[in-house]
Structure 1
Amino acid sequence: MTYSIKATSLANKAGEIQIKQSQITFGTTFQSSETLANPAELFLAAFSACMLKNVERFSAMMNFSYTKASVEVQATRLEHPPRMDQINYELTLYSNDDRLNVPLLKKNIEKHGTIYNTIEQSCAIIGTIKTTANV
């Protein structure tokens, strides 16, 4: 499987990523640092999207239902050389389903996530999954 995206930027302007039919604007200037995602935040967004995609994937494979999943991610960046050192996440699943096996879901996310496994090669990942009853 291969992937392809296109990214562009103009001098003193924001950048843009074209992925299929999606456009993602990101910050490249000091002026946009408070309003647009920076590359490190896009990196963490890809990590989060990978986890949420796998929740959907494994809900079918593990035969459980949920109404919503959300993930909060924090990361620690080192300066020399600049890189992510540690990523912490908390994944919350909104579900009343007794078939939801949280330890198995966590194991599957960690074993089968493309972005998760790529990051894990160079950075510590610490995370938890919690469940909350549907409202």
Structure 2
Amino acid sequence: MLEYAVEARRINKHGSVAKTKDAEITLDTDVAGRDDAFNPAELLLAAISACMIKGIERVAPITKFEYRGIEVRLKGKRQDSPPFMAEITYELIIDTDEDDHRLELIHSNVRKYGTIYNTIAAATKLEGIVRRKTD
């Protein structure tokens, strides 16, 4: 089994920092919020998007899927009581000349083999579409 480790600590009432390996990210843990850092819900969405992009990076060389870029747009809906991410939707946009069938196969692979994707999908409604980037 793979294991992961992250350490986080409060800097002050306006924020915290999380570290892993040689990387560091500022966290929005200020009750009032802040615009220069990801809050916990945004970090969750970012983790899903990173999982999706990494999944494509992993499978593309194996399947010889050619692409120029990937964009993921996510939206989360939070329920207030009890606090819960009730729904997450996404749009996976791939800049590619591959046909629609191969585009859908990549999307299927992301849904089937993404660790974070599958973890979140088991806990809440997670739905989205894949589409080709158009100018």
Which residue does the alignment assign to 1:123?
124
CA distance in 1, matches of 2:126, 2:4: 24
Q: Residues 103 and 23 (structure 1 numbering): CA distance in 2 closer, same or farther, change over 3 Å?
A: same
Post-superposition CA distance 1:94-122 (Å, at most 9, x none): 01234970221111111100000000111
CA-CA distance at 1:31 after TM superposition: 4.6
CA distance in 2, matches of 1:132, 1:91: 9
CA distance in 1, matches of 2:11, 2:116: 28
| Secondary structure in 2 matching 1:10 | strand
> What percent identity do the matched residue pairs reach?
33
State whether structure 2 residue 120 is matched by structure 1 residue 88. no
Post-superposition CA distance 1:2-60 (Å, at most 9, x none): 11111111331311010211110011113543332101100110011000101111211
Q: Residues 68 and 101 (structure 1 numbering): CA distance in 2 closer, same or farther, change over 3 Å?
A: same
| Superposition pairs of residues 62-101 of structure 1, within 5 angstroms | 62-98=63-99, 101=102
Which residue does the alignment assign to 2:10?
9
CA distance in 2, matches of 1:40, 1:99: 32
Q: Which amino acid counterpart does residue 115 of structure 2 have in structure 1?
A: T
CA-CA distance at 1:123 after TM superposition: 0.5
What RMSD over aligned residues (CA atoms) do the two structures have, in Å? 1.8
Which residue does the alignment assign to 2:35?
34
Q: Number of residues paired by the alignment?
A: 134
Q: Extract unaligned runs of 5+ from structure 2.
A: none
The question of whether the paired residues in 2 share the 8 Å contact of 1:63 and 1:99 is answered with no
In the TM superposition, structure 1's runs of 4+ consecutive aligned residues that sit over 4 Å from their partners are none
Which residue does the alignment assign to 1:109?
110
